[in-house]
Amino acid sequence: MHLDLVTVACLRDNYAYLVVCPETGEAALVDAPEAAPIAAALLERGLRLSHILLTHHHADHTDAVAELRAGGAQVIGAAADAHRLPPLDMALRPGDRFEIFGEDVHVMAADGHTLGHIAYHVPALGAVFTGDSLMALGCGRLFEGSAAQMWQTLSALAALPDETLVCSGHEYTLSNARFAVTIEPGNAALTSRLKRVEVARSEGRPTVPSLLSEELETNPFLRAGLPALKSAIGMQEEDDAAVFAEIRRRKDEF
């Protein structure tokens, strides 16, 4: 079944996503930062909200659930996070699969930013919804999980097909790009991407979703295992997780 993707800007710098089934006029929402723009996007397209998928418990991803579920939408989230999510109609664990509009959704562990964070891979759409784990040119801060957990998350996401769209939760790309250049100033693909991001943001255009292939070329957090990056920061002999941890430390202080 053909599915469409709609990106909805919310709050100051959040994004929500609608996975749309044109045949039925239904939509599944991934994360619920703010009700008004999401409701407007549904109304504009004549869609009925059927599902709300939550990546993690933070308020800027869940605050609009109560209002948006009033029409009967089924709320889905992580069993491990159920105690601090809005009431769930379906509680899932990493490795689970379920269907939306007849298409498989694969639940992936995405610990690091929080514990119990999950991501949703929708192969038929060619997209993965990563919340605050993998972001465009970055990754989420480690509020609850460890660097080793986030590195494991990013490694699993990096193994998805190169053409996968990475649908992340925030417009942090310009700051992320400026930091990334401090890690790999000689990365031509990164320098080129920074220029494109600067233009996009100056024109008020979103920088997400992004292609996984481009993240693999330019996102320092995904590249922590590469010899070229390790050499760039003088950590040639360190293991991948330790290099990732050092990059995350530097970004926290950037």
pLDDT, tens digit, 9 for 90 and up, residues 36-53: 999 999 999 999 999 999
Beta strand pairing call for 127-131 and 4-10: unpaired
Please, are residues 157 and 128 in contact by the beta-carbon 8 Å criterion?
Answer: yes
Distance from C-alpha of 129 to C-alpha of 127, rounded to nearest angstrom: 7
CATH code (residue 41): 3.60.15.10
Residue 132 known to be catalytic = yes
pLDDT, tens digit, 9 for 90 and up, residues 60-117: 999 999 999 999 999 999 999 999 999 999 999 999 999 999 999 999 999 999 999 9
Catalytically annotated residue among 57, 61, 117, 121? 61
- Exposure pattern of 116-133 as b/e (b: 16+ CB <10 Å)? bbbbbbbeebbbbbbbbb
Considering its fold, how many domains does the chain have in total?
Answer: 1
Please, are residues 98 and 90 in contact by the beta-carbon 8 Å criterion?
Answer: yes
Report, as an integer, the average pLDDT of 199-227: 97
Residue 96 known to be catalytic = no
Distance from C-alpha of 193 to C-alpha of 199, rounded to nearest angstrom: 10
Contacts (Cβ under 8 Å, ≥6 apart) of 226: none
What is the residue-wise DSSP string for 151-163? HHHHHHHHTS-TT
Residue 106 known to be catalytic = no
Helix 147-158 with 240-252: angle, nearest 10 deg: 110
Query: What mean pLDDT value characterizes the chain?
Result: 97
Report, as an integer, the average pLDDT of 222-230: 96
Residue 117 known to be catalytic = no
* Token pair listed for 188: 């031509």
Q: How confident is the model at residue 157 (pLDDT cuts 50, 70, 90)?
A: very high
Distance from C-alpha of 61 to C-alpha of 64, rounded to nearest angstrom: 8
Model confidence at 4: pLDDT above 80: yes
pLDDT for 1 equals 73
Instruction: Write out the residue range of the structural domain in which residue 104 sits.
Output: 4-252
pLDDT, tens digit, 9 for 90 and up, residues 170-190: 999 999 999 999 999 999 999
Catalytically annotated residue among 51, 57, 58, 121? 58
Residue 83 known to be catalytic = no
* Token pair listed for 159: 């193994």
Rg, C-alpha atoms of the chain: 18
